[in-house]
Amino acid sequence: MEKQHLYNKSIMYLQKLCNDINERCVGSEGNRKATTFFNDVLLSMGWVTETPEFSVMDWIDGGATLKADHIDFKVLVSPYSLGCSVNAQLASATNISELEKGNFQDKILLLHGDIAKEQLMPKNFVFYNPEEHQKIISLLEKSKVKAIICAVGRNTALAGGVCPSPLIEDGDFNIPSVYTTEEESKRLLPYIGKEVSLQSNSKRIPSTGYDVIGRKNENGLDRIVVTAHIDTKKGMPGATDNATGIAVLLILAELLEDYSGDKQIELVAFNGEDYYAVPGQMNYIMANQDKFDNILLNINIDGAAYKEGKSTFSFFDLPDNIHKKALEIIREHPEITEGALWLQGDHSIFIQHERPAIAISSQWFTENADSQNVIHTT
């Protein structure tokens, strides 16, 4: 098949996902348009598809205001937070010990300093959830605070390139919260012990989402599973995160349109990698609880084809024959290189179930992980 044809197709897919649909946050209308589009393309190429549905929460950010002595302070709504209208005394905590010992009942609590150094994992997130994060969340829920203000810096490892980033992004956490910069929080410190007013116009909306799974040779005993997530952060077009991955899956669907091999090929558009509860991934795990053993290989594409640098293949516990073949491909294509190991993607599902995996991404992101301002931004 001509490279120009595949290139033109990939551009068309990216235009559709990033410009025509734009936001693909789980639960949104754009997300459902994207999964419908992906499913329709696979069906047009003779793939048998499945679209398991799950319940999710969409969210409207109506903005927030914070006032003290008639002075305005800039705050942003924490994603998926409950809204609030609260007048209360301002208190603060900079570490777990202060949070543990303080009396914060019916107050608005400012979290700043060490306790706000990195984004907290959602309370029910099963793949990575440090004990320190769990303890902070538990103490906050026991504190009976009316609302939380989080002063956050830059943390690209967990939150991407956006700054400030939300300390709390969790629809299962039911204390209203907003976030602001460390600089803005310093302006707030003189008002500790005084009454402040917080208005947050945040709204949760029950919704639905879908994974899309396409299969060739459904009767094949052994599976090769190629994955990419189709969702984005709220308000983001998600070009490399992860429209490029979805475009690759659709190109692969065309290349394998007439596939007649003995292996079962599974293309999975996961829905939820950038969402606090990873619902599509959890759905897939439940459906495959007793079936992971027949997966020969997972190839996951996330953050691929950034405009600068090479593409990377990162290898996780590959059998010798597959590892050898992958290295041959790298040698034949100078624009590809072996990448560092990273676990912040959907290949981690397969690794945790002791399945070999290849994660495909961009070298630029690895080399600029601590300074980039691209991921999760417009």
Task: Check: CB of residue 268 under 8 Å from CB of residue 212.
Answer: yes
Task: Supply the DSSP symbol for 285.
Answer: H
Q: Is the pTM of this model over 0.85?
A: yes
Checking if the pLDDT of 359 tops 80, the result is yes
Instruction: Dump pLDDT digits (tens) for 222-247.
Output: 999 999 999 999 988 999 999 999 99
Instruction: Report the distance separating Cα 108 and Cα 191, nearest Å.
Output: 11
Residues in the chain: 378
Distances (CA, A) of 261 to 41, 323, 330, 357, 369: 21, 20, 24, 20, 39
Confidence (pLDDT) at 318: 97
Checking if the pLDDT of 81 tops 70, the result is yes
Checking if the pLDDT of 157 tops 90, the result is no
- How far does Cα 82 stand from its chain's mean position? 20
Strands 147-152 and 108-111: parallel
Confidence (pLDDT) at 164: 80
Instruction: Dump pLDDT digits (tens) for 304-325.
Output: 999 999 999 999 999 999 999 9
pLDDT tier at 363, thresholds 50, 70, 90:
very high
Token output for 206: 């029950």
Task: Check: CB of residue 213 under 8 Å from CB of residue 267.
Answer: yes
Q: Which domains are delineated in the chain?
A: 3-52+211-367 (3.40.630.10), 59-205 (3.50.30.30)
pLDDT tier at 348, thresholds 50, 70, 90:
very high
